[in-house]
A = this chain, B = another copy of it.
Amino acid sequence: MMSTVSACFEKIQNDTESHARLGRVRTARGSFETPGFLPVGTQGSVKSISPRELIEAGTQAILCNTYHLYVRPGLEVIERAGSLHRFIGWDKPILTDSGGYQVFSLTKMRKLTREGVEFNSHFDGRKIFLSPEIVMHIQSVLQSDIAMVFDECPPAESDKAYLKNSLDLTVEWARRSKQAHQNMSRDGVTPSLLFGIIQGGRFLDLRQESLERTVEIGFDGYAVGGVSVGEPHEQIEEVVREMGNRLPEHQVRYLMGVGTPKDLFMGVEAGFDFFDCVNPTRYGRNGSAFTSTGRLVIRNAKYTFDQKPIDETCGCYACRHFSRSYIRHLINCEEILGARLLSLHNVHFFLNLMRRMREAIQTGTFAALKKEFESHYEDDLR
């Protein structure tokens, strides 16, 4: 067994037939195993699920959104709690995204300069200015275990010239993010890990340029961003498959905002180590379950009398205790427990899938697991 150790990432084992790898990410608040999936707690809560339930489902780390938390409840509230962890009752690792994606997708009236971006809050219209330095400060107050550089996240349909300019800006902001991070460490602030973000949209040459210039700056880990932001699935697939293994081999590789069970297999196969996505909770709240045979829309009349659990192969609290028939009734009546049970099952399903991938890499059966999974799984989300 080969073991390569870098500052925060330990690569434990390579898959024999793909770029998949088994590893471990170390943070100030403990480590998590990769390939891994981070449930998303946008506003400081993985929607409808309690921290205790997250732990029971096997959650190793979560993602929270810098932008949302900055808007509400605001920095002072979290600072007074001591840290984001203490505020939300979660003592395992937290990765905070930098807000780049939210600023460029949720807000209106943006004014973008080299210095930063001014915009109106999506919540109350309040004017907000964010820069790499400000975003690093926010993440240090949150006491993130993994902070992300501030980036511009352009729309999927942007033309190449726009994407090239945006890339230049993101590289400059990455450099300033790192500088601000170093200054804070120098000033005695407990340092988080800091990850760079590769942009460049659907153009592989821009992606390559972004990668090289970001790696040149030097970060604890690297993420591919701006994927699954509305582009056709073939474009997602091309970027994921091409970029995964171009990222530095001995550092951790993070594919942001992806995705579906099949996309997770694809990402792991391409060499990515971890992922985050709102899909488990968003689909759960809307009445959909991810199962070993595909997506199950619980409102469907065929489940009216169905006494089976959501997924017969699942051991989560929802599947151990409740029938499709009952959960369908809860969702139809807009009972909160319905959204809870489906969200909890979905998070459990995603985490369990990653666990099975880790075991398969370890035993040299990743390709077989992927084949077996895909033979049963009908994916209507692609």
Contacts and interface: CB of A to CB of B under 8 A. Distances in A.
Interface in A25-75: 43-45, 47-52, 72-73
Contact of A72 (B52, B325, B332): B332
A345 to B, nearest CB: 13
B51 A321 contact: yes
A162 interface: no
Given A52-B317, A305-B80, A87 B44 contact: no
Contact of A47 (B305, B317, B335): B335
A304 B48 contact: no
Nearest to A338: B45
Interface in A326-348: 326, 328-330, 332-333, 335-341
A76 interface: yes
Contacts of A341: 50
A73 B336 contact: no
A141 interface: no
A307 B45 contact: no
Contacts of A307: 80-81
Interface string A75-103: 01100110000011100000000000000
A49 B338 CA distance: 10
A337 B49 contact: yes
B43 A77 contact: no
A329 B73 contact: yes
Contacts of A288: none
A323 interface: yes
Interface in A211-261: none
B81 A323 contact: yes
A123 to B, nearest CB: 9
A270 B49 CA distance: 41
A339 B340 contact: no
Given A332-B72, A336-B339, A339-B336, A325 B77 contact: yes
A164 B115 CA distance: 79
B48 A326 contact: no
B72 A333 contact: yes
Nearest to A304: B77
A305 B77 CA distance: 6
A336 B48 contact: yes
A322 B281 CA distance: 22
Contacts of A49: 337
Contact of A326 (B52, B88, B321, B328): B88
22 contacts: A43-B329, A44-B326, A45-B335, A47-B335, A47-B336, A47-B337, A48-B336, A48-B337, A48-B340, A50-B340, A52-B321, A73-B325, A73-B329, A77-B325, A80-B307, A81-B326, A87-B323, A87-B326, A89-B326, A336-B336, A336-B340, A340-B340
